[in-house]
Amino acid sequence: MASNGVGASGGRDLDPDSSKNVFLDDSALVGEGQDGVRIVDEQEENNLSRSLGQRHIQMIALAGAIGTGLFLSLGGALQTGGPLGALLGYAFVGLVVCAVQFALGETSALFPVTGSFVRHAELLVDPALGFAVGWNVVYGTYLSVPSEISAALVLIQYWTDKYPALWITLLILVTFLVGIIFVGIYGEVEFFFALLKILLVVGVVIMGLVIDLGGVPGQERIGFRYWKNPGPFVEYLASGSLGQFLGFWAVMINAVYSFAGVESLSVAAAETKNPRQNIPKACHRVFARVSIFYILAVLIVGMLVPSNDSALNDQSGTASQSPFVIAAARAGIKAVPSIINAVVLTSAWSASNQSMLAGTRILYGLAIKKQAPEIFLRTTKWGIPYVCVLFQTAVATLAFLSLSNNALTVFYWFLDLTAAGTLVSWSVILFNHIRLHQALKKQGISRQELPWHHWWTPYSSRVGLFFCILFLLTGGFSVFIKGNWDTATFISSDIPIVIILYTGWKLFKGTNIQTLESIPIQMALDEMNDNPEEKITPPKGWARLNFLW
């Protein structure tokens, strides 16, 4: 990694000779007759509070990526792809996540704005793309809160099925309180939740090794016997080699949504201390840690439970469907189910908190660019966009629909429309990065002038974008297999809302795609060099052993 010119926080004037934020020339950035675009708006600089440190944003991303998918969904991956198919699927998607994280880090270091890749799309591609992706993310994150609260209710019902409405009310209330108070408190809450999840991952991996190697009294050594029988791959929807490949491909597509959340670590860049240094560092570290945790977990699961085990058919939504719980129960370890269920419950709550942060900050960023009502710009004296929080809390009351089966069906239909949102976001991040490097070449600016860069990222972004689009187009491939057609699955998988939003805003506003010459790279570099951030000192002593943040 090369890094030079540690830059300024995004909250200073773009023109060093001016005391106010600068509007770029209309025709130069968005086409003649369009609204001017500026990199960091004075409202986000003056009204938001920089209270999130590097450890906060890194652990926020870890908390988002290590969720219910890791603890509850690995059994489905094992059933679909087999132990080797599941391992290869998660490893391959981990490489795509690597490309996404490094692209996001390089772009965010140059443009550390609230809304992250949504605002980057406006600066680097087209204002209509920023509008479309922004509202697509807002739609997805706003619906994610009631969805996660409904999931938390299911987890609570592992212990008791009494007072469901009360539990929903309490979960909405605590999510609102975390969202409305000082953002530093949110950072500490998510930091604690992330530590719980990491400790659980480490614990179940160690437990799995002990069980597999015969360390439990009365249990024989398992080793890799399930890789031999029933085998390393599973035939899925077809027979022979084609069926095994389809199983591997299905695992990859499902793995994408297990990794969902890693892209949100920079949405609160205007609330992050030293964002040009801390956000790239978090992007670099989160990828490695998340990938290691997932790959280790998938490897251990494939050793503990055979892919044809009938216990994997459990779809209760609680800890009982976890393959770790299945293995622990058979080994006579009785405390594990409740421990896993409790930590997964915090995962659901953590996911709703993260959706609250991402949704409110991106909506705030859209309001800054006049792509959402100005009322969403109102903030509390401690820097929280409270109108955005109140609106998202109102949407969270949709969780009460889970008390009615018919209403819940309608709610999940709307939720299915967000299924492709993660891949859309990753694709935009990678495309933004490609455009950035194209503009660097066009304007004759060296990559070495960026605050954070790698020689291979221009190539990895292109490869990553190819596979993201491929995953997006093949996400509903199962409906094309004979006897598996499902209209709702086809629509939710293959027609992202972002296409409709992009076309509508482009026709309504008549926006133009940014020319490579007009992308304000030099302006951002001047700001970075003229107003450098305070240099973060490297850790010393025992702190150097910390591998989490």
φ and ψ at 31, to 5 degrees? 95, 150
The per-residue pLDDT for 275 is 82
Distances (CA, A) of 162 to 11, 153, 158, 339: 50, 10, 11, 20
Assign a CATH topology to domain 28-526. Amino acid/polyamine transporter I (1.20.1740)
Structure tokens at 242: 């084609």
The per-residue pLDDT for 237 is 86
Q: Is 52 helix (H, G, I), strand (E, B) or coil?
A: strand
Cβ–Cβ under 8 Å, residues 492 and 42: no
β-sheet bridge partners, residue 453:
2
The per-residue pLDDT for 127 is 92
Cβ–Cβ under 8 Å, residues 335 and 356: no
Distances (CA, A) of 147 to 68, 163, 171, 345, 395: 12, 18, 12, 13, 11
CA 249 – CA 218 distance, rounded (Å): 38
CA 245 – CA 540 distance, rounded (Å): 48
Amino acid at residue number 313: N
The per-residue pLDDT for 406 is 66
CA 382 – CA 182 distance, rounded (Å): 6
Q: Is 55 helix (H, G, I), strand (E, B) or coil?
A: helix
CA 437 – CA 430 distance, rounded (Å): 11
The per-residue pLDDT for 201 is 87
Amino acid at residue number 144: S
pTM of the model: 0.85
Apex CA 49: angle with CA 47 and CA 53, to 5°? 155
The per-residue pLDDT for 408 is 59
β-sheet bridge partners, residue 2:
453
Burial 164-179 (b: 16+ CB within 10 A, else e): beebbeebbeebbebb
- Mean pLDDT for back-to-back runs of 10 residues, the chain (549 residues): 35 35 34 43 65 75 70 86 94 92 91 87 93 90 87 86 91 91 81 84 91 88 92 91 92 84 75 81 78 89 92 79 87 85 84 86 90 92 90 92 71 64 91 96 92 91 95 77 62 66 92 92 84 74 64
CA 428 – CA 506 distance, rounded (Å): 17
CA 379 – CA 389 distance, rounded (Å): 10
Sequence spans of domains, the chain? 28-526
The per-residue pLDDT for 490 is 56
Cβ–Cβ under 8 Å, residues 82 and 235: no
